[in-house]
Amino acid sequence: MSHKLLEIKDLNVTLSNGKTLLDNLSFSIDHYQCMGIVGESGSGKSLTCKAIMGLLEPYFRVKGEVLFFPKQKNRHFSSSADLLKQRKEVLRNIRGNTISVILQHPMNAFDPLYCIGKQVVETLLAHRKLSKSEAIDKTLCMIETIGLDNPKIIYNKYPHQLSGGMLQRIMIGIALMLEPELIIADEPTTALDSISQYHILKMFEQIKQQSKTAMIFISHDLGVIHHIADQIIVMKDGTIVERGTRDEIFYHAKNQYTQYLINARKQLVTKFNAAVKPKPLNVSLESI
C-alpha cells in the first residue's frame, strides 16, 4: 500500500517563447515527511512549488502530472487527483483545506486595509464550519499559542504595525489551524532577522515533531535544510542534480554541484566561527 502524499511526474515549465525553466522533474513526498528543496537563486525551487499549486501566470506552460493522495477524502475527488487538471475553484479548495502555502514575504500575504484578527477569522470561516465567535476565540488562542504577547492587541493590529517575524508566525499559525496534510514553505526565514529566523525554525521543528503534516521546505540555506529535512532535492538550472536522505546529501554527496554548495557552507561557517572566537589577551602577569 502506497504511503505517498504527493507524486510529481515529468514536470515541465516553459515560457510562451519556448524557453525551458523546469525540465522533467520527478519526485514524491510521503505522509508526515519533510522534503527539503535546496539550490541557489534561479535554480527553480520556488517555480516548482508554484507549478504544483497552480499559481503560475498564464504565460507559463506547465506539463506533466502532480498526483495528490490525501488521506481525507475531498468532496471534489475520492482518492487521488492530478492537480494540474483541476478547475481553479477545486484548487482553491485544496489550497485552503488540505495544502497550505507559507510564503517568503509575509507582508504580501495580508490585506493592508484590514486588521490581522479580521483576516484570520475570515480565513477560518471560509474553510471551517464555525460560528464567528468560535472563529474569534480560535484566532486569539492561536496568537497566544505561537508565542505572541497580548493576543487581543495583536488581533486589532494592521499588518504594517507588526514585524515580519510576527506576521510569519501568524501565517504558520493559520496553516496549523486549518490542519492541512501538506505545508509548502517557500523560503520562510529568508526575509527575517536572525532572531526571528531562530523562532520560525523552532516552530517548524515543532510542526515536524508534533503534527501529522508533511512539508516541502524550500531554502537556499543549507543550515536550515539540515535542521528540518528528512529527504533533500538539490536543484540547478531547473533540473534535479541530486537527491537523497539528509546524511547522504551532507556527508556522501556525489554530484559536483552539491559538493560545491556544502563546501561553500562549511567555509562560511569556519570564517564566521573564527571571526567571533574570543582572542586571548596578550597580557603578562608582570604588567598587572
> pLDDT tens for residues 137-163?
999 999 998 888 899 999 999 999 998
Residue that has been written with the C-alpha cell 538550472 in this structure = 237
**So what CATH class is 4-104+183-193+215-266?**
alpha beta
| 288/73: higher pLDDT | 73
In terms of DSSP H, where are the helices of 36-131?
A: 45-53, 88-97, 116-127
Of 15-24, 26-35, 130-139, 263-272, the poorest mean pLDDT is in 263-272
pTM over 0.85: no
Give the mean pLDDT of 2-22: 91
Quick one: pLDDT at residue 152?
Answer: 95
Task: For residue 79, give every residue at least 6 positions away whose Cβ sits within 8 Å of its Cβ, in sequence order, or none.
Answer: 69, 73
* H or E segment and range at residue 263: helix 256-276
Q: Of 124, 9, 24, whose CA–CA distance to 69 is shortest?
A: 9
Query: Does pLDDT of 21 surpass 80?
Result: yes
Cβ atoms within 10 Å, residue 256:
9
Q: Buried b / exposed e across 82-106, counting CB within 10 Å, b at 16+?
A: ebbebeeebbebbbebbbbbbbbeb
| 77/1: higher pLDDT | 77
Residue that has been written with the C-alpha cell 515543532 in this structure = 206
